[in-house]
Amino acid sequence: MGSRPNIPDIVIGRLPIYLRALYRMIQEEKEYTSSQELGERLGISSAQIRKDLSHFGEFGKQGTGYNIKFLHEKIRQILQVDREWLIAVVGVGDLGHAIAHYRGFAPRGFHVAALFDSAPTKIGEQIGGLTVMPVSAMKDEIHRQKIQVAMLSVPAEHAQQVANELIGAGIRAILNYAPITLAVPPDVRVQYIDPVAHLQHMTYYLRS
Amino acid sequence: MGSRPNIPDIVIGRLPIYLRALYRMIQEEKEYTSSQELGERLGISSAQIRKDLSHFGEFGKQGTGYNIKFLHEKIRQILQVDREWLIAVVGVGDLGHAIAHYRGFAPRGFHVAALFDSAPTKIGEQIGGLTVMPVSAMKDEIHRQKIQVAMLSVPAEHAQQVANELIGAGIRAILNYAPITLAVPPDVRVQYIDPVAHLQHMTYYLRS
């Protein structure tokens, strides 16, 4: 698994989208698909899909196309989500609650395993079977459970400080909901969810 | 505003990121910045930033760089967020609550103006100063308020049906939190927020 240094990150970023479409097809009890069909569902050209997948091997057959379960399993392996990753969530406001209650993680390789907050009124609260712990306990708990992935749903002004503490505790991937760009060491991955940025992207195209 | 047909969508997608960084700099009371400084904050090359901005005009001066407030205002105009866009939110589970309570919309051009749900237990609930309305009232209310933008936080199995109704009611931009790709007419924009896809993108790079 450690020997694919040259695959563009933008290709890696499309694999979860393919996986999501394949998962949906499995739920629909379809058996085979094609790069054309996938492309139509996703608004991506079939040539792009074939080229993306060709980085990782030969998954389809001329004539019959892709076996959906097989391709789904292969992409799960490539993305390493054929196992369960534990997640620490920091910040249990409304958004943290939504994350803690979200049932879409487990079927796709993730499990919320710890909740943290700094507000005394929140510490001890039970959410989705977990007890909210103080941020001061974060380092020990992340070490204890060997958690590598965190979701950050704290106010923007605290996000960098909390990120630093998470990284110090061993976290290597952060999904950041705070609307700021984090400074992190090169071996730590960060992805951003900023709904307003998506909205602004769309209003460019609207004529009012 | 209607005469920029050739700017790649990927460039448009970076403008909100620049805007977010500039907004942060304004809060820090900085006056000038450079493509180098912006690039370091964002992990984007300074050449890329200059090239992106050059699609829209000359915003910086040799030597002094960019006046932050001026560039911020220009990008707001380009993205058309120098006005307020009303948003309809459909689905007021935990995530819909988080959206309705989120205070980050107003400073960046958006205002949640209507909440809808199909569950009888939720209709009539007061959230963030709004009363949850039934989905059956959606079309009239969206027309009445002339809402063009919607956020969709319903279960995946209902998302396409609700999207169809929103589009029928006049919605032209949808931010979709349901983990499925929506089929929409070519004049409707859709953006996706799927936290699991972001997590899966990162686990590719983790070695467990």
Residues of chain B with C-beta less than 8 angstroms from the C-beta of A183? 41
Last residue of a domain, one of A57, A79, A101: A79
User: Taking CA atoms, what residue in A is nearest to B77?
Assistant: A204
Q: Of B87, B109, B197, which has the smallest distance from its Cβ to A16's Cβ?
A: B197
Candidates B81, B83, B196, partner chain A, best to mutate (most A CBs within 10 A): B196
Q: Could you tell me if A75 and A89 lie in one domain?
A: no
- Contact residues for B207 (Cβ-Cβ < 8 A; gap 6+): A1, A2
Q: Of A1, A13, A200, which has the smallest distance from its Cβ to B109's Cβ?
A: A200
Residue B54 lies in a domain: yes
Element holding A22 (H helix, E strand):
helix A9-27
The ipTM (two decimal places) reads 0.94
Q: What is the pLDDT of residue B1?
A: 47
Q: Which residue has the higher pLDDT, B60 or B68?
A: B68
Residues of chain B with C-beta less than 8 angstroms from the C-beta of A108? 196, 200
Residue A9 vs residues A6, A164, A189, B69: alpha-carbon distances, Å: 9, 24, 12, 33
Average pLDDT over residues A179-205: 94
Between chains, do A79 and B105 touch, taking CB under 8 Å as contact?
Answer: no
Residues of chain A with C-beta less than 8 angstroms from the C-beta of B192? 198
Domains held by chain A: number: 2
Does A158 score more than 80 pLDDT? yes
Sheet with B173-176: list strands edge to edge. B126-127, B130-134, B110-117, B85-90, B149-152, B173-176, B189-192
- Contact residues for A177 (Cβ-Cβ < 8 A; gap 6+): A91, A95, A151, A152, A153, A193, A194
Does A3 score more than 90 pLDDT? no
Q: Could you tell me if A95 and A158 lie in one domain?
A: yes
Does A36 score more than 60 pLDDT? yes
| CB-based burial label for B61 (10 Å; 0-12, 13-18, 19+) | exposed
Residue A62 pLDDT level (bands cut at 50, 70, 90) = confident
Average pLDDT over residues A167-191: 95
Share of chain A above pLDDT 90, in %: 81
Q: Could you tell me if B69 and B16 lie in one domain?
A: yes
The 10s digit of each residue's pLDDT in B103-154 is 889 999 999 999 999 999 999 999 989 999 999 999 999 999 999 999 999 9
Residues of chain B with C-beta less than 8 angstroms from the C-beta of A112? none
Q: Of B98, B181, B194, which has the smallest distance from its Cβ to A95's Cβ?
A: B98
Average pLDDT over residues A121-129: 95
Q: What is the pLDDT of residue B103?
A: 86
Residues of chain B with C-beta less than 8 angstroms from the C-beta of A201? 12-13, 15-16, 79, 191
Distance in Å from the first CA to the final CA of chain B:
50
Determine the structural domain holding residue B168 and report its residue range.
85-197
Q: Could you tell me if A65 and A91 lie in one domain?
A: no
Residue B111 lies in a domain: yes
Instruction: Tally A–B CB contacts below 8 A.
Output: 196
User: Taking CA atoms, what residue in B is nearest to A94?
Assistant: B98
Residue B89 lies in a domain: yes
Average pLDDT over residues A37-56: 92
C-beta of residue B171 within 8 angstroms of C-beta of residue B155: no
Q: Could you tell me if B74 and B96 lie in one domain?
A: no
Q: Amino acid identity, residue B11?
A: V
Does B49 score more than 70 pLDDT? yes
Q: How far apart are CA A175 and CA A129, in angstroms?
A: 22
Last residue of a domain, one of A79, A114, A130: A79
Q: What is the pLDDT of residue A153?
A: 95
The 10s digit of each residue's pLDDT in B146-197 is 999 999 999 989 999 999 999 999 999 999 999 888 999 999 999 999 999 9
Residue A1 pLDDT level (bands cut at 50, 70, 90) = very low
Last residue of a domain, one of A43, A64, A79: A79
